[in-house]
């Protein structure tokens, strides 16, 4: 399927603000893919679809999670965690995206997980450092992003987790697994 057609479909699902974020994630993911020799078509496809389900109705997302092989424990956590897994399902059904690396990069873009592939790391990081982001500490992560992909992902996972804890939020187990595994991968 043509990327321009996909872009238009994604645009129709999102707000203007969220679509602009998506395009910046795509540009950032392409830059990171050049640096780390990742597949650029895969990075583009994962990036363009990563927030596809961001504004899906919660009832619909809940239903998709229950009726498919997506992990049901997602339902015990914040609904913000549902849009990646749901998008990874939708793009297979609606767009025939079969490539598991692309689908996993979308599925895990919010939480990360243990043993992330290079593409998963690139999408996770691109979502965090795209130029529109202004989290405290993001500049330090940007400085490391093109030097050490794994370390930059660990820093992003750490910042997000610490932020969520400071707000008394729960932490999905995959987020903790991502933090631990990325930490163990760096020296």
Residues that bind Fe ion (CB under 5 A): 51, 70, 72, 127
3-class state of residue 151 by DSSP: helix
Asked if residue 140 binds ligand DGI (CB under 6 A), the reply is no
Q: Which residues contact 49 (CB under 8 A, 6 or more apart)?
A: 6, 10, 87, 91, 95, 97, 106
Rounded CA separation 147/159 (Å) = 18
As measured in angstroms, the least distance from the Cβ of 187 to ligand DGI is 25
Give the x-and-dash track for 77-96 against ligand DGI (CB under 6 A).
xx-xx---------------
Residue 15 is a binding residue for ligand DGI (CB under 6 A) = no
Q: Does 114 bind ligand DGI (CB under 6 A)?
A: no
CA distance linking residue 152 with residue 104, whole number of Å? 19
Instruction: Spell out the residues 6+ positions from residue 155 whose beta carbon is closer than 8 angstroms to its own.
Output: 137, 140, 141, 144
Residue 170 touches ligand DGI, criterion: CB under 6 A: yes
72 binds, among ligand DGI, Fe ion, none (CB under 5 to 8 A by kind): Fe ion
Residues that bind ligand DGI (CB under 6 A): 51, 54, 77-78, 80-81, 109-111, 127, 160, 164, 169-172, 175
């Amino acid at each position: 399927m043509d990327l321009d057609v996909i872009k238009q479909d994604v645009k129709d699902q999102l707000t203007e603000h969220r679509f602009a974020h998506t395009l910046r994630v795509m540009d950032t993911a392409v830059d990171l893919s050049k640096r780390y020799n990742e597949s650029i078509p895969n990075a583009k496809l994962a990036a363009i679809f990563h927030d596809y389900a961001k504004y899906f109705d919660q009832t619909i997302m809940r239903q998709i999670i229950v009726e498919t092989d997506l992990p049901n424990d997602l339902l015990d956590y914040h609904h913000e965690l549902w849009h990646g897994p749901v998008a990874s399902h939708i793009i297979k059904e609606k767009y025939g995206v079969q490539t598991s690396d692309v689908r996993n990069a979308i599925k895990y873009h919010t939480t990360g997980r243990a043993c992330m592939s290079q593409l998963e790391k690139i999408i996770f990081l691109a979502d965090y450092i795209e130029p529109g982001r202004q989290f405290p500490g993001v500049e330090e992560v940007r400085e490391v992003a093109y030097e050490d992909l794994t370390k930059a992902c660990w820093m992003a996972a750490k910042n997000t987790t610490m932020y969520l804890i400071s707000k008394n939020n729960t932490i999905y187990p995959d987020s903790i697994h991502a933090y631990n595994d990325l930490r163990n991968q760096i020296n």
